[in-house]
Structure 1
Amino acid sequence: MSAHADRSVHGFWGNFWRQLRPSMSEATERVSADGLIAFSPVWAAAAIFSLAGDRGMLLFRDGPLLGLMSWAAISVALLLIWRPRWTPLLVLLAGVMATRYAIAMPVAGNNKMIAAFMNAGILAICAHAVLRYGNSAQMRENIYENMRVVARALLAVMYFYGIFHKINSDFLDPRVSCAVALYMPLADGFGLQNSLTGKYFAIWSTFIVEAIAIVSLYWKRWFAVGLLLALMFHFVIPISVYSWYMDFSSLVLALYILSVPREVSERFYDSCARLFRLLRDRFGLLGQALPFGVVIGGAVTLVGVLSVFSRQASIPPSHAYQSVWVLMWVVYGGLTMLLLADAAINHLPWRGTVGPQRPMWLYAVPATLFIVCTAPYLGLRTEASIAMFSNLHTEAGVSNHLVITQPLALFPYQSDVAMIKASSDPDLQHFADRNQGLVMFSLKERLRKKPEQWVTYELNGVRYEKATAHSLGAFTHASSWERKLLIFKHVDFARPKVCTH
């Protein structure tokens, strides 16, 4: 290696890691002016909520590599919460989470896919800043402003498909709509779970809230209107306990920290910093950890006490585990969103100035996500396309979408749907019991992973008895790229199509 190249490499890493130990002048700056400080701990919290939902990985059921990477990511996230000014920790967390996602693919979670795109954006933006700027302050400013562009665009793509995929006959049907599936657990305590008016309100309010959210992302003057509606919506849905929604809502919260005007993030950071300074002054360094200990301890204690006095013989450990995390979300999500809402209201309407135009290459990340989410209509994957809780159906050449009434089917993966009739595998037998099917790609992949199992299925009116991985050619039917990128929902041909997820 030449001397010049050697100096370049050392300069790259020197500039990058110098941020771990800010200079005295940097340390005395008014830290609230740096939006990265406001974003970093919230992004770390979103990672922890996501990782907590993957219990199998945390317990090493998915292999030692993913288990170790999961615990490594938790460690880095906790350290980033403790030291949010250490920007390289944010980069390290993004790298670990992105690598973990790539190894675990195919991954069905939409929130994990959006987070992976954001993590990829963080890595690209930070690499660009390190190569271009020698000054640490310029580097952080550039990173922050570029990350804001990506975060806002990712939210816009998410809300766009959150509306577009739902424009189908079954989502608009109050008997089966996924909006109603989320509404009923929340309305049950008020005795309104069977209210037809309430069900229609749940359906149409989904469209209204997400439409306002998109407009407000780019209509800066009235950004707070969409933000407040979005915060209320995303705070409530994890409490429905219909699914593990804490990761999704915490992800959106973190992206909003970047999407709001700088002055709002500054005020939000000031509010948080005052609390932690007070605790540090009163209890020393450990005072900063006190709120976390109180919340975690209180949640565990409350769930434990309720379990003891529950009328049920025993509460499943998975339910108790999720209940603890829901309670933690209520406190963390509620407090964080209130502080952000307060900061936003104080800047409504916003009268600041728009910063300089950012480079166009930043839009490559959200543009790629936008293209990926067209997959259901092209005959590609139906999972991880932001089609969650949308009632969307595009398999076997039939679509319930009211705009794209006939799938384009440029790819054949959704064409053949095997209706499961019987199987030696309990998971496949579950589909048989519910008269559900799988696209052939998914069926072959399931058998490939369990070559000792058999399945009886019906395809295009023909019944196939006790097929195995060997008889179906499951070991050679797809390339490694197809196995990494393609993942499909199970298929239910009953109409109206009930909400699955």
Structure 2
Amino acid sequence: MRQLKTHPVLFNIAWAIYALAHTVATAPDWKWGAWVLAELIPAVPALWLLLRPDSAKRLATLAAVWSLLTLVKLPVVPNHSLLTLFMNLTILVCLFSDERGRSPEGRLERGFERFAPLLRLQLVLVYAFVTFHKLNTGFLSPEHSAAHDLYLETVDSYPVLPASLPAWIPVWGTLASEAWLAVGLCFRRTVPYAVGFGLVFHLLLGLHPNPYILSFSIMLFGLYSLSLPGLLEPLRRRLDPSPQEAEPTVTWSPVRRGVLGGVALVLLGLALVTPFPEPGADPAAYIRFVGRLAFLGLTFCCMASWLSLEVSRARVQALSWSALRQAPRGAQVLIVLLVFNGLCPYLGLKTGSAFAMYSNLYTEGGRCNHLLMPCKGLRVAHFQEDLVEILESSSEELNHVKERGWMLTWFEFRRLLAQKKEEGGTFFVRYRRHGEERTLRLPENASDEAFTPPAWLARKLLHFRPVPMNPEMRAEHWE
């Protein structure tokens, strides 16, 4: 394999592994129906890419298929799936821009030179948003913070972790960690240390029972290699034994061997206590279990590789604003859209998939708990202020919303009622909106405005999370 192709090939392998790991770790229950096979589609082009990772065509196929599947599922997708969509579209734009009249030979290297800096920037922007969104009174309150809840849920799955940890530690630890990663990945001198810290941080985060959090961690392990190519040095040596591009490595001193041994013991211990699916569980539960074990194995490989590097001399890639200025116009538009997506909660637009996962951010109902953003002065729409309180319903979904102490935006309420109308049969709901109580029934009130869905494009682009009646609570959604 030509040495020039080594780094793009390493990224292709990492991206394909992420696609496979995401498919395994988030495998939907088979009992949901045959349509769940669509969730497994990205595994096919991912395996195809692994068979020939130096192929630009195969990378483009994976990016295109994965993007199409995500676009079909919009607007309700996990945050990191939306980030993956932005990145896959960036890859496609960069692979096919400025290629007219040029030989297909070398397209992968040219495309990689264009999209790698942009993917690094997108990652830093998302870290910045998840940190910024958490600067609110809810997240910083230990008794209400989502960070403490996440930690307790992780302890339930891995009881070896200390359950009595003071609540302020996960709160401020999460905030400081994500802020450090957002800053540390920007500068050449700090990149190696930020990557090493990120491996540990996302190992802890990936232990949470939510499979999408684990998938997010696996995604980041691959993206870190764009900032610290030496993270995949062992794999590079297998692909290209030539020493010309080898990363500076260290002699394995007794201390480093001891640290690596300690890491191995910790990860082995976590593997042994990983909850095994209960008897009679859906077959997909066993697939997800294998995904968790694979995550721990991947973490060990990445940590061992990081420990083998001579950090002070390691080759790093920091942010490059010149790369953004020289990027294809379509890729620049994607960067702008990503930033706009992160600002949506403050603009009165969507709150789902806005990189505000588990942040306690509350911008609905005319309230705003953020410490810095003047939400009212930034509104361009009023979807978030039109709220519906469910009082009674024949729908299990609406009753669940009521029992959790949540409200819905009028937008999401109409979306749900339109679905009930499409399903046919009988249905009723009693709700309160703007202080007025109403009861609607199907089929009697089928022509009511509430059963009319929002416009198709709005339904495709906007998604609003359930709104807690108490602003200090959180809507427990990863989307």
- Aligned CA RMSD, in angstroms, stands at 3.2
AA matched with 2:373: I
Query: 1:449 maps to which residue?
Result: 419
CA distance in 2, matches of 1:304, 1:372: 35
Listed as ranges, the matches of 1:278-297 within 5 Å are: none
Deviation, 1:167, is 0.5
What per-residue deviation string (whole Å, max 9, x for no partner) do you get for residues 224-264 of structure 1? 1111111111122121214532221122222222233x5x2
* CA pair 416-499 structure 1, distance change in 2 beyond 3 A: closer
Q: Which moved more, 1:411-420 or 1:249-258?
A: 249-258
- Partner SS, residue 97 of structure 2: helix
Query: 2:312 maps to which residue?
Result: 348
Query: 1:249 maps to which residue?
Result: 217
CA distance in 1, matches of 2:140, 2:274: 40
Q: 2:189 aligns with which of 187, 198, 221?
A: 221
CA distance in 2, matches of 1:182, 1:191: 13
Normalised by the length of structure 1, the TM-score is 0.78
AA matched with 2:134: K
What per-residue deviation string (whole Å, max 9, x for no partner) do you get for residues 49-95 of structure 1? 333455459777485xx845x44421111122232122211110000
Tell me whether 1:440 sits opposite 2:440 in the alignment.
no
Deviation, 1:184, is 2.1
Query: 2:69 maps to which residue?
Result: 100
Query: 1:497 maps to which residue?
Result: 473
Listed as ranges, the matches of 1:481-496 within 5 Å are: 481-496=457-472
In structure 2, the gaps of 5 or more residues are: 242-267
Tell me whether 1:159 sits opposite 2:127 in the alignment.
yes
- Partner SS, residue 397 of structure 1: coil
Query: 1:30 maps to which residue?
Result: 3
Contact 2:383 2:409 in 1 (8 A): yes
What per-residue deviation string (whole Å, max 9, x for no partner) do you get for residues 364-384 of structure 1? 322220111111111111001
AA matched with 2:294: M
Contact 1:57 1:67 in 2 (8 A): no
Q: Which moved more, 1:90-99 or 1:420-429?
A: 420-429
CA distance in 1, matches of 2:40, 2:151: 35
Structure with more of its chain in helix, by fraction: 1
Tell me whether 1:334 sits opposite 2:300 in the alignment.
yes
* CA pair 340-387 structure 1, distance change in 2 beyond 3 A: farther
Listed as ranges, the matches of 1:300-339 within 5 Å are: 319-335=285-301, 337-339=302-304
Normalised by the length of structure 2, the TM-score is 0.81
Query: 2:144 maps to which residue?
Result: 176
Contact 2:208 2:214 in 1 (8 A): no
Contact 2:133 2:370 in 1 (8 A): yes
In structure 1, the gaps of 5 or more residues are: 1-26, 276-297
AA matched with 2:306: A
What per-residue deviation string (whole Å, max 9, x for no partner) do you get for residues 248-299 of structure 1? 1122222222233x5x266253256499xxxxxxxxxxxxxxxxxxxxxx9x
Q: Which moved more, 1:118-127 or 1:326-335?
A: 326-335
CA distance in 2, matches of 1:152, 1:118: 10
Bigger relative contact order, structure 1 or 2, given CA contacts below 8 A and separation 6+? 2
CA distance in 2, matches of 1:62, 1:416: 37
AA matched with 2:312: L
CA distance in 2, matches of 1:352, 1:396: 46
CA distance in 1, matches of 2:168, 2:21: 31
What per-residue deviation string (whole Å, max 9, x for no partner) do you get for residues 74-120 of structure 1? 11111222321222111100000111111221123101100000010
Tell me whether 1:86 sits opposite 2:55 in the alignment.
yes
AA matched with 1:145: E
Instruction: After the TM superposition, list the runs of 4 or more consecutive aligned residues in structure 1 that deviate by more than 6 angstroms.
Output: 57-60, 301-305, 351-356
Deviation, 1:456, is 1.4
What per-residue deviation string (whole Å, max 9, x for no partner) do you get for residues 161-212 of structure 1? 111110111101111211112222445635632332xx21211122222222
